[in-house]
Amino acid sequence: MQQFDVVIVGAGAAGLFCAGVAGQKGLKVLLIDHGEKVAEKIRISGGGRCNFTNLDVSSANFLSENPRFAKSALSRYTPRDFLALLGRHQIAFHEKHKGQLFCDRSAEDIITLLLAECATGGVTRWQPCSVNAVRYSDAAPSGEDGTSTATSTSTSASGRYEVDTSLGTVSARALVIATGGLSIPKIGATDLGYRIAKQFALPLVETRPALVPLTFDEAAWAPFAQLSGLSLPVEIATGGKKDSTRFREDLLFTHRGLSGPGVLQISSYWQAGTGIRLNLSPDTDVASFLQTAKASSRKRVANELSSLLPARLADAWVAHSTAAGGSAERPINEAPDKVLNLLAERIARWEITPTGTEGYRKAEVTAGGVDTLALSGQTLESRQPGLYFIGEVVDVTGWLGGYNFQWAWASGFACAQGL
């Protein structure tokens, strides 16, 4: 049986990064993934350019049952640290929007960087290789041939893990689970990480798709389906008065519902059965705008509105309020104030209740996961000695905007320090 210091399962963002850092500490690392290729999610991220971090990261940009959990790891490996690494690999990048950093060339640059860091650390990689079973034995290790040259063995395990894989059984004093979440199963997402947590009696926070488009009942959505493809900046909110969450981002109409950055952000906070509220013209007081137009214009109401909103949307909202008895299909100077105010209200506060989401098939991430109560915020080691969880498999979910990769780097780094 081959012996390693550490076996890491999952060669995605967190697993690759952790493997490189641990290998460069002198640890003998085996990295396993069941996919043919590493890091498929990095490859498709950010439209192929990978939004690899954000200039402004704090634990406030993450959801978790324990919102402060991510703080320690995030403070010990910051966006500046990752930018320094990019600098060493001469990878060019740019800021796109709200601190979001993307590769100039391609997401492949990040994958190449991670593989180079693993090579420098002498990491052994087995792919495609699946995990059949994991066992922990408290007994003292036997035949420690070829193990660590590192002096630090800070993991609290006294026993060893045996991992039965499709390429044979291996043994290590630490096991790191970096298998990610459940989103996009067609590129390799599985529930292995959660199953291993359960095997060792570690608690889980229920998982759900997050950063995901919202869907509506077909009949209720029919009037809006014609707006598919239309995009505009909005303010979007969910939750009650005390716990409301809001974002200012773009909204995209689709055939089945709503998408775009604003909707993806709010989807992580949306609770099934509750509504969302949208201000379709967040920079303008629509009621005053319509009153001013009424005093000086004879154009149709929809024509006036089209200087505030995309024309198709203005038409649809006027038709909508007409259908609701508002009768706004007329020159604006003839429209009663009551009708204009109702229309303004519907633009500034469109309330709608999604029936669901597009699910893991389309979700960028999985919210929930291994409960942070069972993990050390310093090292990501679980209360099962020598067993670590990093990246998306943990109940730490970032906003859209590079936060999920920053969590992968930071949690991978914190774990490698503890190994």
Residue spans of alpha helices (H) in 89-207: 108-120, 192-199
The verdict on 183 binding ligand FDA (CB under 6 A) reads: yes
Q: Of 222-230, 254-262, 281-289, 390-398, which segment contacts ligand FDA by CB under 6 A?
A: 390-398
The verdict on 372 binding ligand FDA (CB under 6 A) reads: no
Q: Which of 240, 307, 290, 289 is nearest to 269 (CA)?
A: 240
Query: Alpha-carbon distance 14 to 8, whole Å?
Result: 10
Per-residue x/- track, 130-159, ligand FDA (CB under 6 A): xx----------------------------
The verdict on 359 binding ligand FDA (CB under 6 A) reads: no
Q: Of 43-51, 57-65, 348-356, 373-381, which segment contacts ligand FDA by CB under 6 A?
A: 43-51
* DSSP string of 321-370, one letter each residue: HHHTT----SBGGGS-HHHHHHHHHHHH-EEE---EE--TTT-SEEEEEE
Q: Of 166-174, 246-254, 258-266, 388-396, which segment contacts ligand FDA by CB under 6 A?
A: 388-396
Residues paired with residue 387 on neighbouring β-strands, in sequence order = 175
Could you tell me if residue 300 is left (phi over 0), alpha (psi between -120 and 50 degrees) or otherwise beta? beta
The verdict on 208 binding ligand FDA (CB under 6 A) reads: no
Residues paired with residue 279 on neighbouring β-strands, in sequence order = 235
**Token couple for 333:** 């100077």
Question: Which residue among 184, 197, 309, 367 contacts ligand FDA (CB under 6 A)?
Answer: 184
Q: Which of 356, 360, 355, 61 is nearest to 209 (CA)?
A: 360
Say how many residues touch ligand FDA, by CB under 6 A. 38
**Least distance (Å) between residue 356 CB and ligand FDA:** 19
**Least distance (Å) between residue 40 CB and ligand FDA:** 6
Q: Of 29-37, 302-310, 367-375, 380-388, which segment contacts ligand FDA by CB under 6 A?
A: 29-37
The verdict on 83 binding ligand FDA (CB under 6 A) reads: no
The verdict on 51 binding ligand FDA (CB under 6 A) reads: yes
The verdict on 192 binding ligand FDA (CB under 6 A) reads: yes
Q: How many CB atoms lie within 10 A of CB 353?
A: 14
Q: Of 65-73, 143-151, 185-193, 239-247, which segment contacts ligand FDA by CB under 6 A?
A: 185-193
Question: Which residue among 24, 26, 43, 44 contacts ligand FDA (CB under 6 A)?
Answer: 44
The verdict on 418 binding ligand FDA (CB under 6 A) reads: no
Beta-strand relationship, 29-32 and 124-126: parallel
**Least distance (Å) between residue 275 CB and ligand FDA:** 26
Question: Which residue among 402, 409, 416, 418 contacts ligand FDA (CB under 6 A)?
Answer: 402
Query: Alpha-carbon distance 79 to 410, whole Å?
Result: 9
* DSSP string of 265-320, one letter each residue: HHHTT--TT--EEEESSTTS-HHHHHHHHHHH--SBHHHHHTTTS-HHHHHHHHHH
3-class secondary structure, 73: helix
Q: Residue written as tokens 């098939």?
A: 361
Question: Which residue among 25, 28, 34, 300 contacts ligand FDA (CB under 6 A)?
Answer: 34
Nearest residue to ligand FDA, scored by beta-carbon proximity? 12
The verdict on 73 binding ligand FDA (CB under 6 A) reads: no
**Which spans of this chain sit near ligand FDA (rule: CB under 6 A)?**
9-15, 32-35, 41, 44-46, 50-51, 130-131, 178-180, 183-184, 188-190, 192, 364-365, 391-393, 402-405, 408
